[in-house]
């Protein structure tokens, strides 16, 4: 189907559900995928790949059972087919050291502190996904209504002149 997914990695069910509900307004255009730990996230990633879909934005908690969120983001940044994914850390516990590592090594795009507000979460998601689709999509029009319309229109105009 070749759809773009938002991957949420969060182990606490209540928090995960809350994020999922806050992202519901994007569900018509983006597939919301939930994972409760890093291993689960890899499974989701594999399933998406096999069905021809791909992740455009990863919202990742840091303190997870098993591997740490930052380590997974670094892993994503090291593989060529996942490097383009927009990476956002959403956490209440990452220390300065981990955060610095995430910025330096995972090319972290944003950091959302818990507790978050829906306005802030939406702003970050829109901004990051807009960047993502401009970089990776040929047809930007479907996203104009849900993402940053002004920037997308400008991009479309630029491309029109190029072609």
Partner 1 sequence: MSAFLIICVDADPATRAALQADLGRLAGAQFEIETYTTGSQALARLADLRDTERLVPVMVAADRLSDTTGIDLLMEVHQQARFRGTRKILLSADPAMNDIGRAIGKRALDGMLPYPWNEEQLESMVEALITEFFIEHAPGELDRIPEVVDVTLLSDAFSAAERKARTTDRQLRRLQRSFLSDRELPDDEVERRLIAELDSVLADTTREDLPGGTPILRSGDLVDGIKVLVEGKVKLTRRVGGREVVFHAETAGRIIGLLAVARNRPSFFNVTADTDVTLLPVSLDDLDTALQLSPTLAIHLVTVMVRSMARRMLRGVDQQVRIDELNRDLATDRDRLAGTLRELENTQAHLVETEKMATLGQLVAGIGHELNNPVAAIGRATEFLRADIEAIAAGHPDGARLLAMVRAAESRGPLSTRDERRYRADLAAELGDDALARRLVRIGIVSGNDYRSLVGDASAGSEPTPLDRLELYHQLGLSLRNLRTSSGRIAALVQSLRSYARAGRQMATDVDIHASLEETLLLFGHDLREIEVRREYGDLPVIDGYPGQLNQVWTNLISNAIQAMAGSGTLTIQTDTPDPNHIRVRLIDSGPGINPDHLDRVFDMHFTTREGRVEFGLGLGLRICQDIVVRHEGSIEVASQPGRTCFTVTLPTRQPGDLTHGDQP
Nearest to 127 by CA among 103, 100, 146: 146
Name the residue nearer to partner 1 (CB basis): 83 or 142.
142
Q: Who's near 120: CB < 8 A, 6+ residues apart?
A: 112
Give the CB-side neighbour count of residue 81, counting CA atoms within 13 A: 8
Q: Which is nearer to partner 1, 72 or 131 (CB)?
A: 72
- Shortest distance in whole angstroms from residue 108 CB to partner 1: 21
**Angstrom distance (rounded) from CA 10 to CA 78:** 22
Q: Give whichever of 13 and 142 is closer to partner 1, judged by the CB atom.
A: 13
Report which DSSP code applies to 138: S
119's tokens: 């306005």
Residues in contact with partner 1 by the rule CB under 8 A: 13-14, 16-18, 20-21, 34-36, 40, 43-44, 47, 63, 65-66, 93
In angstroms, what is the minimal distance from the CB of 158 to partner 1?
33
For residue 3, the minimal CB distance to partner 1 (Å) is 10
Of the pair 91, 128, the CB lying nearest partner 1 is at 91
């Amino acid at each position: 189907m070749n759809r773009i997914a938002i991957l949420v990695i969060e182990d606490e069910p209540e928090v995960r559900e809350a994020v999922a509900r806050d992202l519901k307004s994007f569900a018509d255009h983006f597939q919301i995928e939930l994972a409760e730990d890093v291993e689960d996230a890899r499974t989701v990633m594999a399933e998406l790949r096999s069905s021809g879909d791909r992740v455009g934005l990863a919202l990742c908690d840091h303190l997870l059972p098993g591997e740490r969120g930052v380590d997974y983001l670094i892993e994503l940044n090291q593989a060529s087919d996942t490097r383009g994914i927009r990476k956002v850390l959403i956490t209440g516990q990452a220390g300065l050291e981990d955060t610095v590592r995430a910025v330096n090594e995972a090319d972290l795009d944003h950091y959302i502190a818990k507790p978050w507000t829906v306005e802030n979460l939406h702003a970050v998601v829109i901004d990051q996904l807009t960047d993502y689709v401009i970089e990776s999509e040929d047809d930007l029009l479907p996203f104009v209504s849900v993402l940053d319309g002004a920037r997308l229109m400008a991009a479309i105009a630029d491309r029109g002149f190029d072609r």
